[in-house]
Structure 1
């Protein structure tokens, strides 16, 4: 990327935020960077048109990545890691091997239907396998090395709402 490409401070700031937080979605950019919505939309569109940023749709959010740094499989993993409960499910599956919906529900302290919904999204994205064992369905991460690597490298850019809430309370004192 040449210097003139990012001569505007707003463009540089947006690109840098995307580079530091791959898979960030528009609302998060809007909240963190505090640009007007139109300015952010325009500059993101410019960065995409110039081939500096790539877009990925995870079915819920449009996510932004620095161009040529993530292949499609990486973007799929990062899209999942950007969702809090998908990230937690993947972490449990990686740490403790194949688990059932009930086991994950208990570990996450979430309703089985909620966990099942997230697991179906992970399955549809090709990130987990599922195998029926009687009345149970057992899930396992398909490419554990890729998920572990991307989680480890980008861990600092993931925010957990629980942690955010605790920090907000702490700052109130």
Structure 2
């Protein structure tokens, strides 16, 4: 066997060792995540699901650092090479403002697996989120401003959405008529309007002893657009 053949064989063996080592490192990392999630939440992620989570990305290629002199950065889109992450990203792009459990339920994903891949997408910069009370609502990154994300998040609340839809359709309603329109109590409407008054959509006017609500005319196109988006 010539020196050339020996060198080629050595290079092939070295490459195989790098790939196997990188894959093993990634599998170990995600298995550790699975076990820690099971311990904290009592949720079992199947072995098949865990293997589906394994991808070879820029981090796995650094598993055998002595074999590489330099590392080339990989575009964010490389994170979507994983089927599960791609499905999550597509779902969020089609359903902006979706919260974690809704995403997991819609895609039939174990909570642990969904949590892991969402964290990867957020860290990669492909997905962003804002807090809505105790929930996080997810959006494709750089597609919406903070104000737009807050508006979409508000419209994800069913009662608030119905109130705004009623005002958009009826143009102007008294407090009692609006409560009847959306089938909630007067007290519940008062609580809802505390939030809606802080938006740029609702105008509140006192006419004698009555409180009358309407939609700010300049805000109607924006409101209609986002109602269609979340509807």
Compute the TM-score of the two structures, normalised by the length of structure 1: 0.79
Any conservation in 1 of the 2:152–2:226 contact (CA below 8 Å)? yes
> In the aligned structure 1, how far is the partner of 2:208 from the partner of 2:133?
31
Structure 2 residue 121 is matched with structure 1 residue 47: yes
Task: Show CA shifts across 1:9-42 (max 9, x none).
Answer: 1111111110111111112112112222122112
Any conservation in 2 of the 1:76–1:125 contact (CA below 8 Å)? no
> In the aligned structure 2, how far is the partner of 1:51 from the partner of 1:15?
12
1:151 corresponds to: 227
Which structure ranks higher in relative contact order (CA pairs < 8 Å, sequence separation ≥ 6)? Answer: 1
Task: Show CA shifts across 1:82-121 (max 9, x none).
Answer: 1111111111111122322211111112211122222222
Q: CA deviation at 1:66?
A: 1.0
Q: CA deviation at 1:147?
A: 0.8
> In the aligned structure 2, how far is the partner of 1:26 from the partner of 1:123?
28
1:16 corresponds to: 90
Structure 2 residue 140 is matched with structure 1 residue 66: yes
2:8 corresponds to: none
> Residue 128 of structure 2 aligns to a residue in which SS?
strand
> In the aligned structure 2, how far is the partner of 1:40 from the partner of 1:14?
8
- Check 1:74–1:104 CA distance in 2 against 1; reply closer, same or farther (3 A cut): same
Q: CA deviation at 1:2?
A: 5.5
Moved over 3 A (4+): 124-127
Gaps of 5+ in 2: 1-74
Note the aligned Cα RMSD (angstroms).
Answer: 1.9
Gaps of 5+ in 1: 159-173
Any conservation in 1 of the 2:76–2:126 contact (CA below 8 Å)? no
Any conservation in 2 of the 1:129–1:141 contact (CA below 8 Å)? yes
Which has the larger Rg? 2
1:106 corresponds to: 180
Any conservation in 2 of the 1:77–1:127 contact (CA below 8 Å)? no
- Check 1:141–1:56 CA distance in 2 against 1; reply closer, same or farther (3 A cut): farther
Structure 2 residue 79 is matched with structure 1 residue 5: yes
Q: CA deviation at 1:60?
A: 4.9
Any conservation in 2 of the 1:74–1:146 contact (CA below 8 Å)? no
- Check 1:133–1:61 CA distance in 2 against 1; reply closer, same or farther (3 A cut): farther
Q: CA deviation at 1:125?
A: 4.3
> Residue 120 of structure 1 aligns to a residue in which SS?
helix
Larger deviation, residues 140-149 vs 63-72: 140-149
